[in-house]
């Protein structure tokens, strides 16, 4: 076992404390750290009651399901076995030892097989719940399944802790519960993940990680790159060097896209981030990855994997736009709220002050998304309803913008489709361009978005976005 993988329980008793307290309810009087074995066992006695109390578990729609019913009963039976056994053990240990042993937090060897059993039962239930989460569109999945998924993740984390599992195993389970579930029990999984993550980073000796991220060598000859199929109606984008709030407000009012320079020079991310830095800080975190050339492709799909796996598998792709490159080779962490999961990266970026000019100054309402991927990721021509400041941290992208007035020329999918805000046309496909004469005079502008620059995209402006090299962008959507 490496240092990084050594026991979770012995090093973060405060997380165990938090977990037990929030999962098992306030009826259990838990001491401040370190927890005693006796008190930990007392806390565990409440598992059965908690399983009933946790949101979702007792809902009829779940209990009427024979598989769930059986599985939960089996699980509770196992927990009860633990409980009975623990009572005897606790009494024994009370007689044999005087009091708390400080860091004696974890189950004894003889309990491990019981814990293994519980974990096995939990994984049957998790697999079944996973299938339910993947039937149909994500938004139409009843929330109850998501809550159940998180409940199971919390229970799994408890057992992993008792089993002395590694930090890496624990954080993976936390991430799965965070990604697929609901923030129940005061978002306890996120809190645990934060603490475990900072332990992992410290142990990996990332104090000098900052020096990792100093160079992002440009690998593209920007002067030679352009998008295909320019129309006869091209215009130049407005460029503004750190405009004042008043100037920016007038861009917003007139719905004018603007290439902003010198507005994020003070972001630590600009100096620190590159692919290897992201790996060091976040490689062990689990995230959703879009796989396929673009979200309109037939074989496009989403997979869940660690950021390290993503980097190994997808970030090494060629920067040449290679016709033969297999579409499935493209992976993209796209439109993902990475920064709520990873406060370690969030502290390196700042919300642009222009976002305060929107209809709400409430920072909570600003949607911050990460876009991290190799060369040649494509976001097909689409529009969004809100103002957007798209910031390029490293790498570069080329973007074609069309004003809302050109919508009909871009032939959006039908209103009833999930893709209603996306064009049916691929602007870089030559035969389509030729077949649609209306596109040949669609008004547009092309923009090279390089590291350190940002693009203001007004609401409902169509945009097609292609990366030219390994790239990290952050978008800020605001009303």
Ligand X SMILES: O=C(O)CCC(=O)C(=O)O
Residues at the contact surface with ligand X, assessed by CB under 6 A: 371, 377, 379, 384, 388, 390, 397, 463, 465, 473, 475
Nearest approach, Cβ of 329 to ligand X (angstroms)?
17
Q: Which residue, among 183, 185, 79, has the nearest Cα to 125 in the 3D structure?
A: 79
**Cβ neighbours around 262 below 10 Å, total:** 13
**Cβ neighbours around 416 below 10 Å, total:** 6
Q: Which residue, among 304, 52, 83, has the nearest Cα to 173 in the 3D structure?
A: 304
CB contact burial 53-78 (16+ within 10 A = b; e otherwise): ebebbeeeebeeeeebeebbebbbeb
Nearest approach, Cβ of 303 to ligand X (angstroms)?
18
Indicate the residue among 83 and 300 with the shorter CB distance to ligand X.
300
What strands lie across the sheet with 396-402, from one edge to the other? Answer: 378-382, 462-467, 396-402, 445-450
Nearest 5°: phi and psi at 289? Answer: -125, 135
Burial of 103 from C-beta contacts in 10 A (0-12 / 13-18 / 19+) = middle
Is the dihedral angle over the CA atoms 295, 300, 301, 303 positive or is it negative? negative
Show the tokens assigned to 388.
Answer: 């957007």
Nearest approach, Cβ of 328 to ligand X (angstroms)?
18
Nearest approach, Cβ of 379 to ligand X (angstroms)?
3
Nearest approach, Cβ of 452 to ligand X (angstroms)?
16
Indicate the residue among 182 and 469 with the shorter CB distance to ligand X.
469
Indicate the residue among 165 and 388 with the shorter CB distance to ligand X.
388
Indicate the residue among 341 and 422 with the shorter CB distance to ligand X.
422
Show the tokens assigned to 185.
Answer: 């029990």
Map residue 245 onto helix, strand or coil.
helix
Regarding beta strands 238-241 and 258-261, do their DSSP bridges make them parallel or antiparallel, or are they unpaired?
A: parallel
Indicate the residue among 206 and 419 with the shorter CB distance to ligand X.
419
Show the tokens assigned to 169.
Answer: 């195993």
Indicate the residue among 163 and 397 with the shorter CB distance to ligand X.
397
Burial of 109 from C-beta contacts in 10 A (0-12 / 13-18 / 19+) = exposed
Nearest approach, Cβ of 390 to ligand X (angstroms)?
5
Show the tokens assigned to 364.
Answer: 């909570």
- Rounded distance between C-alpha atoms, residue 277 and residue 295, angstroms: 28
Indicate the residue among 390 and 445 with the shorter CB distance to ligand X.
390
Nearest approach, Cβ of 137 to ligand X (angstroms)?
20
How many residues does this entry show for the chain? 479
Nearest approach, Cβ of 25 to ligand X (angstroms)?
42
Helix pair 167-180, 143-162: axis angle to 10 deg: 170
Indicate the residue among 390 and 425 with the shorter CB distance to ligand X.
390
Indicate the residue among 165 and 377 with the shorter CB distance to ligand X.
377
Nearest approach, Cβ of 464 to ligand X (angstroms)?
9
């Amino acid at each position: 076992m490496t240092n990084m993988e050594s026991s979770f329980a012995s090093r973060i008793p405060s997380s165990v404390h938090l977990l037990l307290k929030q999962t098992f309810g306030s009826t259990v009087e838990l001491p401040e750290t370190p927890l005693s074995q006796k008190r930990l066992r007392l806390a565990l006695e409440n598992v059965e009651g908690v399983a009933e109390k946790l949101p979702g578990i007792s809902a009829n729609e779940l209990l009427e399901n024979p598989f769930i019913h059986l599985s939960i009963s089996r699980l509770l039976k196992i927990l009860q076995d633990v409980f009975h056994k623990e009572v005897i053990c606790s009494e024994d240990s009370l007689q044999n030892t005087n009091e708390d042993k400080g860091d004696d937090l974890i189950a004894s060897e003889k309990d491990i097989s019981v814990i293994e059993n519980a974990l096995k039962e939990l994984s049957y239930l998790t697999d079944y719940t996973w299938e339910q989460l993947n039937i149909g569109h994500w938004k139409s999945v009843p929330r109850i399944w998501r809550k159940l998924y998180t409940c199971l993740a919390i229970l799994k984390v408890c057992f992993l802790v008792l089993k002395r599992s590694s930090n890496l195993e624990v954080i993976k389970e936390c991430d799965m519960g965070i990604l697929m579930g609901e923030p129940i029990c005061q978002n306890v999984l996120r809190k645990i993940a934060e603490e475990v993550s900072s332990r992992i980073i410290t142990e990996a000796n990332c104090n000098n990680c900052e020096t990792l991220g100093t160079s992002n060598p440009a690998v593209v000859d920007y002067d030679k790159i352009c998008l295909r199929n320019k129309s006869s109606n091209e215009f130049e984008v407005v460029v503004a060097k750190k405009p004042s709030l008043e100037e920016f407000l007038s861009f917003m009012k007139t719905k004018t896209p603007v290439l902003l320079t010198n507005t994020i020079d003070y972001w630590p991310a600009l100096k620190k981030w590159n692919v290897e830095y992201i790996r060091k800080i976040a490689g062990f975190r689990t995230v959703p990855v879009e796989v396929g050339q673009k979200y309109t492709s037939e074989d496009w799909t989403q997979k869940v994997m660690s950021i390290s796996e993503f980097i190994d598998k997808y970030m090494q792709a060629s920067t040449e736009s290679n016709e033969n490159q297999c579409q499935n080779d493209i992976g993209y962490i796209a439109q993902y709220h990475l920064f709520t999961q990873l406060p370690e990266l969030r502290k390196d970026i700042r919300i642009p002050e222009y976002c305060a000019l929107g209809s709400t100054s409430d920072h909570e309402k600003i949607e911050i998304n990460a876009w991290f991927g190799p060369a040649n990721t494509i976001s097909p021509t689409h529009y969004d309803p809100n103002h957007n400041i798209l910031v390029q941290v490293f790498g570069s992208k080329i973007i074609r913008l069309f004003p809302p007035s050109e919508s009909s020329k871009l032939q959006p999918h039908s209103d009833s489709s999930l893709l209603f805000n996306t064009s049916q046309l691929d602007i870089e496909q030559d035969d389509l361009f030729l077949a649609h004469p209306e596109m040949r005079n669609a008004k547009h502008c092309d923009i090279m978005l390089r590291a350190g620059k940002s693009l203001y995209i007004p609401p409902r402006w169509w945009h097609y976005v292609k990366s030219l090299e390994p790239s990290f962008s952050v978008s800020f959507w605001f009303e």
